[in-house]
Structure 1
Amino acid sequence: MTVRDEIQRREKEGLAPWAAQSADTKGRRRPEEECLLRTPYQRDRDRVIHCKSFRRLKHKTQVFLSPEGDHYRTRLTHTLEVSQIARTIARALRLNEDLTEAVALAHDLGHTPFGHAGERALNALMPGGFRHYEQSVRVIERLEKDGRGLNLTYEVANGVLCHTDGLEAETAEGRIVRWADRIAYINHDIDDAIRAGVLREEDIPSEITDKLGHTKTQRLTTLISSVVANSFEGLIGMDENVRDAYEKLQGFMHEAVYLNEYAKKEETKVPHIIKSLYLYFLQHPERLPDYMQEIAKEEGPQRAACDYVAGMTDHFAITSYQDLFIPKAWHLGV
C-alpha cells in the first residue's frame, strides 16, 4: 500500500458520505501516472501554488488600485484568506479539504490587472465578453506552463468555473469555495476601507452589526458558523437571518466603498490602459511571447491579446503602457 493509498483509505473512512473522494475523481484531460505520495487533489493544490499565475496574484489589485501602504490586500492575500475560510468549513463538515483548498487557491488565477475595473474593460473589448472565472479555467487548462496548462482534475476546474453566481459546482467542496469567497472579500474590504479612511466601523448600520457582529472577528465567526450549522448532505448555505444581514452588508459596501468616488478615482484610467494594450497586441501579435503567438494562430489574435493582457500584473500593465505609448527622453551623444 502506497502513502496515497493510505490517505485515500482514510478519506473513505473519515469523510462524510457526500464528500468528494480523491480515488473517484473524474480525472484529468490528459491521463497521468498517479503519484505514490499525494492524492490527485493534493497534486492539484501543489501545481497551483507553484505556477506563475499564482505568483502574479501578489501584484494584482483586490479593491484599492495601487494603494500606498503595506497592509492592503492583493489578489494573492485574498486568495489565501478564501482558502483558510474554505478549509475551516470543509473540516467542520467532514468534506475533502484537499479539493476545497485546490479550488480556493485556483479560483482567481484568471483575474485581470486592476481588479474588477480591468475585468469590465476586457469584457467590453472581447467578442463574447470576458469573465474572470472562465479565464481562470482557461489559465489552468491552456495558458499555464507555456501553453500546456496545469492539467488539473475535473472537480477542481468545475469548482473554479462555478465559484461566482450562476451554476453551482458539482461538488460540495466547490460550493464551499463560493461561500468562502463571499465571506472573505466582504470582511477584508471593510478592513481595507477603514485603513484607507473611506469607512469607519461605526458607519456600518446597526441592523447589520447587531446580527453579524461589530468587529471583523465577530463577523467572520458569525458567517462561517452559519454556513457550518446550515449545510446538510452537501448542500451549502446560511440561515435566513444571517444571509439577509450579509446581503444588506453587500448593499452597504456597494454604495459606501465600491462606488466611492475617492476610493475609486484612479479606476477611471483603467479602461484606456487596458484598451490600448489590447488593441496594440491585437495589431502586433508578433510582439507576444512565443506560446501566445501560437494561440493567435490557432484561436485568433483577439483571444491571444486578451489572454496576454488578462495575465498582466498591475505594474507590468502600467510599465508596458509606458514603454509602448509614452515618449522617452533622449540625449545627443557627446
Structure 2
Amino acid sequence: MTAPLGYGAQPRAPFATNPDKSHGRLFPEPESPTRTPFQRDRDRIIHSTAFRRLKHKTQVFVYHEGDHFRTRLTHTIEVSQIARSLARALRLDEDLAECLALAHDLGHTPFGHEGEDVMDACMAPYGGFDHNAQSLRVVTSLERRYAEFDGLNLSWETLEGLVKHNGPLVGPDGAPLGKFAGSELPFAIRAHSQRQDLRLDTWPSAEAQAAAIADDIAYDAHDLDDGLRAGLLRIEQIREVPFFASILDEVDARYPNLEEPRRIHEIVRRSITRMVEDVIREAVTRIAAAAPASVEDVRAAPGALVAFSAEMARAEGEVKAFLFANLYRHPDVLAVRRKVSQVTRELFEAYFADPALMPEEWRRGLEDAATDRRARRVCDFIAGMTDRFAMDEHRRLFDHTPDLG
C-alpha cells in the first residue's frame, strides 16, 4: 500500500506540530544549535534512569519466565517504531511522535498492571495512582539529574501529549472525563497543573494521537505473540476472533505446513500491518473532512483525527476481549499475579509503617511528614522499582517471599 500522504522526506503537513513554534519549557533554556526541541526531549528520555529501568519491568510475563518475552522496554521500542511509521505517512513530526512513544510507560510500576492495581488500592486514601500521571511525575519531578531543575524539563508539546495519552482529561466545564468522571484527576496531574497549563480540555497533537494508537497496536499484536510462544494460547484458539481467523486463513493458504514459530510471526506481522494501514486510511479520511490548517485545529477537533476505522475499532475491541479472557486471565498468569500482588502490597505497608526501611534519599524529610506526603513518597519509590529489585527488597524485609516459578 502506498500511503496517501506519502513516505520519506515529505514537507511537514500544516496541521503537524512545528518544533520551531514550540511553546517552550517550564524552565527556559538556550536552544540547541544541532537538535530540535523534540529531538532534545527524545534524547533526555532515552538517557533517563526511568527509561533504563524499563528493561526489567514486566509487560505480561515476569522477569524469571524467559529472556524472549517482552518487557516494558522492548514494548516501548516497538511502539516508537509504529508511531514513527504513522507520523511519516501522515507527514507529522516524527521526532515528537517517537518521543511520546518512548516516554509513555515511564510511570509503570513493577509487575505490570497488577502492580498498578495494587498501588492504586494502596494509594486510594491519598489520591490514588495512575501510570500515565506517574509518567508525568517522573519527567517533571522524580528524575533528578540536572543542576538547575528537577525532572527532564521537556517541551510543552511533549508534556501535553504524555498527559493526554487517551485524549482530553476534562470537559469545557473543567469536570474530569473518561475513567476519572465523577472523581478527580490523579494527584500528579493536579499538582503539575498548578505550575503549567497543559490545556487538559483539548485533544493532543496528531503526533500524540499517533503514539497512543501505536501503543494499542503494539500490545495487541505482541501480547498475542508472547502468549502463543509461551503456550498459554493455541493458534487454532485464536480463530475465535474473526480478525485473527482471516489472517490465519491467509497465512495457511499461502504457506501450507509452515512451522509454528514462522506461522506465529506471520500472524503477528500481518496483524500490525493491517492495523497500521487502517489507521493511515482512516486518518487521511478524517483529516480531509476536518481540513485542519494548524495543530490548534487538531486540538480543537471534536474527536481524534488519528484513529481506527469503525470496522477496525470493533475488531480491535474483540482482540482485546479475547486477550483479556484467555491470556491476562489465564490461570497460570493469575497465579503469578496473586503472588506479585502480595509482594507489592506488603512492600507498601512496610515502608509506610517505617520509612527508615527505604534508602536515605527516599526517607529524608519524612520524620514528621503528613501521612499523604509519606504515602506519596513510598508510592514513588515502589513505582520506580524493577520487578527484580522489588523481589529483592521483599526478601530483605520478609521471610515469606513467594516463589514466582
The answer to whether the superposition gives a TM-score over 0.5 is yes
Contact 2:86–2:276 at 8 Å: present in 1 too? Answer: yes
Distance 2:335 2:345 in 1: 18
Q: Which residue of 2 is the match for residue 178 of structure 1? A: 212
Which residue of 239, 242, 245 maps to 1:207?
242
Q: 2:99 matched to 1:98?
A: no
Q: Which residue of 2 is the match for residue 48 of structure 1? A: 45
Q: 2:22 matched to 1:25?
A: yes
Which residue of 366, 380, 386 maps to 1:307?
380
SS in 2 for 1:263: helix
Give identity over the alignment, percent. 42
Contact 2:39–2:96 at 8 Å: present in 1 too? Answer: yes
SS in 1 for 2:144: helix
Q: Which residue of 2 is the match for residue 237 of structure 1? A: 307
Q: 2:81 matched to 1:84?
A: yes
SS in 1 for 2:65: coil
Contact 2:241–2:319 at 8 Å: present in 1 too? Answer: no
TM-score normalised by structure 1 residue count: 0.89
TM-score normalised by structure 2 residue count: 0.74
Q: 2:228 matched to 1:228?
A: no
Distance 2:389 2:216 in 1: 28
Q: Which residue of 2 is the match for residue 158 of structure 1? A: 160
How far is 1:249 from its partner? 0.9
How far is 1:38 from its partner? 0.5
Cα deviations by residue, 1:291-327 (Å, 9 ceiling, x for unpaired): 4345745971111000000000000000001011128
Q: Equivalences for 1:262-301 in 2 at 5 Å? A: 262-293=332-363, 296=366, 300-301=373-374
Distance 1:172 1:278 in 2: 38
Distance 1:210 1:317 in 2: 40
How far is 1:162 from its partner? 2.2
Contact 1:53–1:109 at 8 Å: present in 2 too? Answer: yes
SS in 1 for 2:333: coil
Contact 1:295–1:303 at 8 Å: present in 2 too? Answer: no
Contact 2:168–2:204 at 8 Å: present in 1 too? Answer: no
Cα deviations by residue, 1:141-195 (Å, 9 ceiling, x for unpaired): 0000268111111111121222247647521101111100000001000000011
Q: After the TM superposition, which parts of structure 1 deviate over 6 Å for at least 4 consecutive aligned residues?
A: none
Distance 2:53 2:222 in 1: 20
**Which structure 2 segments of 5+ residues have no match?**
1-8, 170-201, 252-266, 293-297, 299-304
Distance 1:33 1:77 in 2: 33
Structure showing the higher helix proportion among its residues = 1
**Which structure 1 segments of 5+ residues have no match?**
1-10, 329-334
Q: Which amino acid aligns with 2:155?
A: T
**Higher relative contact order (CA closer than 8 Å, sequence separation 6+):** 2
Contact 1:211–1:242 at 8 Å: present in 2 too? Answer: no
Distance 1:321 1:49 in 2: 29
Cα RMSD, aligned residues only: 2.2
SS in 2 for 1:252: helix
Distance 2:279 2:152 in 1: 31
Q: Which residue of 2 is the match for residue 134 of structure 1? A: 133
Q: Which amino acid aligns with 1:41?
A: F
Q: Which amino acid aligns with 1:150?
A: L
Q: Equivalences for 1:310-325 in 2 at 5 Å? A: 310-325=383-398
How far is 1:243 from its partner? 1.7
Contact 2:167–2:204 at 8 Å: present in 1 too? Answer: no
Q: Which residue of 2 is the match for residue 144 of structure 1? A: 143
Contact 1:133–1:164 at 8 Å: present in 2 too? Answer: no
